[in-house]
Structure 1
Amino acid sequence: MTDVMGLGTGTGDRQPFVVRISKTRYSLVDESDVLHRQVRTLQADSAEFRRRTLMGDLEARQQVAARLDGSTILSELSDVGFSWRDIARLAQVTVPAVQKWRRGEGMSGAKRLRLAKVVALLAVLEERFIAEPTSWLEMPVRDGVGLSRIDLLAEGRFDLVLLLVSDDGNDIEVGHILDEFDADWRNRYVDDSFETFLDADGVVAIRPRS
């Protein structure tokens, strides 16, 4: 049984309420608190395990793709619609450097491995039933945000793009991904025709300006 006792009659001498509850009810509250902490920890652990698994799969595919010569890798990317400018961005070189590779000049091992990772990612996207993977990569991460998935790849964030494959339809998760890429994305990348606001769930979101 609950026991409630308030002491004092004036505002100056009033003591805090003393509330006693049964041991059974207290035990339930304590158990629910422990369960909540366990679920929160498990969620964080599972998210990290998922990311490691996705990246491990991508890197295994990358090693297979890296067996191709540089010219073949360039052809693979060009054939699915990548522009030479985007290929240069992803390899972190200039367009003239890519043009030299096309003419047969040797590609360094580091650049070849980096582009092989893009080829591996395309295979993942196709297996995940992403229609026209190159076009999907060119799309903004979120409507109204001037940041594409290729922009993430150019910064080496293959992990975030892999998460977007599964979380693309979850606006809250996409927001978390943007936060991880750049905590200031709402100020740096939101289009002028959009504005940020606090939605009913207390989450900062964006919408077209009225």
Structure 2
Amino acid sequence: MTSETRQAASSPTSPVETLVQLPDPSTTSASQLDIVEETGFLRAQGRFIADDSTDLHRRALFTSWQRRTSERGKLAPAALLDEIADLGFGWRDVARMIGVSVPAIQKWRRAGGVTGENRRRLASFLALCDEITNRYGIQEIASWFEMPISSLAPVTPIDLYAESKSMLILEHAWNHGGDSEDILDAYDPDWRERFRSDFEVYLDDDRQMSIRPKEA
């Protein structure tokens, strides 16, 4: 094997170079420039299609959620609250997500008096639970709402809902945590600094999750 052959064999080749022979600046031809322009166009088009499909998916999720909300809104407020309780949610968490006090919810359960807006909020929350459970097969949804969406920050779906980030909850359920950092970025661009810790979670020798100080 010659030195030139050995050098070519050892040089790393990117996937793009494998598909398209990149032009040598000293010998660039018009046809090679056309290839570069075409691949650039295809990459831009791919990004556009990805963005467009993501937007379409989000709109479809929102439309389905709103349709379920209208159906759930046919139930009496007491029935909505009973179903929410049956799912295992604590009234403190429900009150926080709906945007009212715990005594207000207790009053609704005893004597009614729910405004139309609050009735829709209850229906909307229950409809979101329906959407997540039926579409993504998530069981025991109350405990799922309490579970942090990532090990990187203590942000839960309860936090997202309480701050009107409901679509991020649907994306989290859809991605099964695959894009948790993107969701955290959308929730709070400064989350890394906000939740910065001097400790880290790791898997110890006994295959148990433990906490230790981060190395300097």
1:82 maps onto 2:97 in alignment: no
Superposed counterparts of 1:151-170, under 5 Å:
151-170=159-178
User: Aligned residue for 1:150?
Assistant: 158
| Contact 2:149–2:156 (Cα < 8 Å) also in 1 | yes
Deviations 1:152-201 (A, max 9, x none): 0111211000000121241xx21111101110111223555249xxxxxx
* 1:140–1:192 Cα change, 3 Å: farther
Structure 2: segments with no counterpart, 5+ residues: 1-24, 202-211
How far is the alpha carbon of 1:208 from its aligned partner? Answer: 7.1
Aligned pair partner of 2:194 in 185, 188, 191 = 188
User: Aligned residue for 2:214?
Assistant: 209
Say which SS state the counterpart of residue 26 (structure 2) adopts. Answer: strand
1:117 maps onto 2:162 in alignment: no
| Contact 1:90–1:114 (Cα < 8 Å) also in 2 | no
Return the letter of the residue paired with 1:109.
G
Structure 1: segments with no counterpart, 5+ residues: 1-17, 196-206
User: Aligned residue for 1:40?
Assistant: 47
| Contact 1:122–1:133 (Cα < 8 Å) also in 2 | yes
* 1:191–1:135 Cα change, 3 Å: farther
Aligned pair partner of 1:66 in 65, 73, 77 = 73
Q: TM-score, normalised by structure 1?
A: 0.80
Deviations 1:11-67 (A, max 9, x none): xxxxxxx73412222111110000011111111111111111111110110110011
Distance in 2 between residues matched to 1:98 and 1:59, nearest whole Å: 23
Distance in 2 between residues matched to 1:85 and 1:125, nearest whole Å: 21
Segments of 4+ moved more than 2 angstroms: 189-195, 207-210
Percent identity of the aligned residues? 37
How far is the alpha carbon of 1:90 from its aligned partner? Answer: 1.6
| Contact 2:77–2:119 (Cα < 8 Å) also in 1 | yes
Distance in 2 between residues matched to 1:138 and 1:78, nearest whole Å: 15
| Contact 1:90–1:115 (Cα < 8 Å) also in 2 | no
The total of aligned residue pairs comes to 181
Distance in 2 between residues matched to 1:148 and 1:159, nearest whole Å: 13
The structure with the largest helix share of the pair is 2
